[in-house]
Structure 1
Amino acid sequence: MSVGFVGLGNMGQGMADNLLSKGADLTVFTRTQSKIEAMIDKGAKGAASISDLTSKVDVVLVCLQTSRLHAFCCLETME
């Protein structure tokens, strides 16, 4: 099963790192390109957008600060 992860902030980074350490097939997206590149260096795949991420994975985990950001994330996938 492939896993997508949105949000590589303080909490999300640790969660994504743990998924990778357990061998997950992980694709990540966050607004900061350097964080995506750092995860690629660790073995994850990167996505150019939330829509790009959702087209590549079976399940998506979201770790964002506010409900407004969660709503934006969901709405972007519906377009």
Structure 2
Amino acid sequence: MNPFEMVAIIVIVVAVAGMVRSHHRTQAARAERPAGPDAETSARLNVLEERIRVLERIATDKRSRLSDEIDSL
């Protein structure tokens, strides 16, 4: 076995070991994260959905009604 083959084998082994280590770290990080959204995230999402509904209603309402609603705020 010549020196070039030895260097190539070492490089391949190191690259494969790095990929395996990276895969294991990724799997460990996924295991630590919670599966679903927490209560705070769900509450914020509900607030944002309500705001979007209001904005959609304002954008699709007639112009005179829009002015009345803005004035009432």
Length-normalised TM-score, structure 1 = 0.19
Structure in which a larger fraction of residues adopt helix: 2
Question: For the pair shown, which has the larger CA radius of gyration, 1 or 2?
Answer: 2
Higher relative contact order, structure no. (Cα contacts within 8 Å, ≥ 6 residues apart): 1
